Amino acid sequence: MNILYRPEFIRGFGTYKLRAERLMTALEQALNVGYRAIDTAQMYENEQEIGQVLRHHPVARSELCITTKVLPANYSAERFMASVAQSLAALNVEQVDVLLLHSPPKQDFSATLRLLEQAQRQGLTKYIGLSNFSPQQMVRAREAIAAPLVVNQVEFHPLLDQSDLLQAAVATQIPLSSYCSIARGEVLKYRLIQSLAEYYARTPAQIILRWILQSGVQSNTMSSDPQRMAENFAILDFTLSHIHMQQIAELKSANYRVVMV
């Protein structure tokens, strides 16, 4: 089974924009809630703080799935491996579980994919994957290297039509993972989501996150509020009906994108 689709890892805790004490407090609370998949990146500049929390928290390293992403500025052959080694040192781990390219290489596409594959061969990461790759780039990546790519992490929520990416995920066997899962709160304003939250006796965010999972996509959420963390985690004990899944999917006509890639 794909590591990110194991029950304990299918709900990830994102750390974008969390730093210093705020990050350390939030991550400790997230681990206490039950999150075991942690998502970070060189760009977030918080790997050091994450490493400090993991060093002292009682959860065993073997129970965690740690994902980080290589900054595009480090895609050159001279900088790639050194940057990954720096990430491992900051995170206080011998290897990460998943190493991603943060965005598609603008040049030397295949060469950069081969560096990612080399990082896996050298034992710096268990698995490798992508982030922000288009359907066409997913196909190119699949053809560029032999090693399996376990994920393409992309913006994914009901207000954005990502049906082409879902089709590419099936065609390339590279599943999707979400960021901006609730569109920075924008999707929570829709009356349909509020009505379904009342119907299922859940929060609007839980409805969205459950919709993402039932769409076949691993979800990542970020919060520094312990109650919201717990709510966002508690999404495995109910199921949205097929009709409600389709109704939510129709919100894609809003064509609302948070991150321009």
pLDDT computed for residue 69 by the predictor: 99
Q: Is residue 162 part of a domain?
A: yes
| 3-state secondary structure (DSSP) of residue 182 | coil
Active site residue: 35, 44, 75, 190, which one? Answer: 44
Tens digits of pLDDT across the chain (261 residues): 688 889 899 999 999 999 999 999 999 999 999 999 999 999 999 999 999 999 999 999 999 999 999 999 999 999 999 999 999 999 999 999 999 999 999 989 999 999 999 999 999 999 999 999 999 999 999 999 999 999 999 999 999 999 999 999 999 999 999 999 999 999 999 999 999 999 999 999 999 999 999 999 999 999 999 999 999 999 999 999 999 999 999 999 999 999 987
| Residue-range definition of the domain harbouring residue 122 | 3-254
Query: How far apart are alpha carbons 131 and 152 in whole angstroms?
Result: 5
Q: Is residue 195 part of a domain?
A: yes
pLDDT computed for residue 3 by the predictor: 86
Domain with 33 in it: what CATH number? 3.20.20.100
Q: Is residue 261 part of a domain?
A: no
Let me know if 24 is exposed, middle or buried by CB neighbors in 10 A (0-12, 13-18, 19+).
middle
pLDDT computed for residue 13 by the predictor: 98
pLDDT computed for residue 2 by the predictor: 85
Query: How far apart are alpha carbons 30 and 230 in whole angstroms?
Result: 8
Q: Is residue 206 part of a domain?
A: yes
Q: Is residue 39 part of a domain?
A: yes
How many helical (H) and strand (E) elements, i.e. helices and strands, does the chain have? 10, 8
Query: pLDDT for 11-62, tens place per residue?
Result: 999 999 999 999 999 999 999 999 999 999 999 999 999 999 999 999 999 9
**Is pTM beyond 0.85 here?**
yes
What sign does the dihedral 23-27-33-35 (CA atoms) show? positive
Number of domains in the chain: 1
pLDDT computed for residue 260 by the predictor: 84
Q: Is residue 84 part of a domain?
A: yes
pLDDT computed for residue 23 by the predictor: 96
Q: Is residue 66 part of a domain?
A: yes
Q: Is residue 259 part of a domain?
A: no
Q: Which residues contribute to the annotated binding site?
A: 102
In eight-state DSSP terms, residue 152 is E
pLDDT computed for residue 261 by the predictor: 77
Q: Which residues contribute to the annotated binding site for substrate?
A: 102
Active site residue 44: yes
Q: What b/e readout covers 186-201, taking b as 16+ CB neighbours within 10 angstroms?
A: ebbebebbeebbeebe
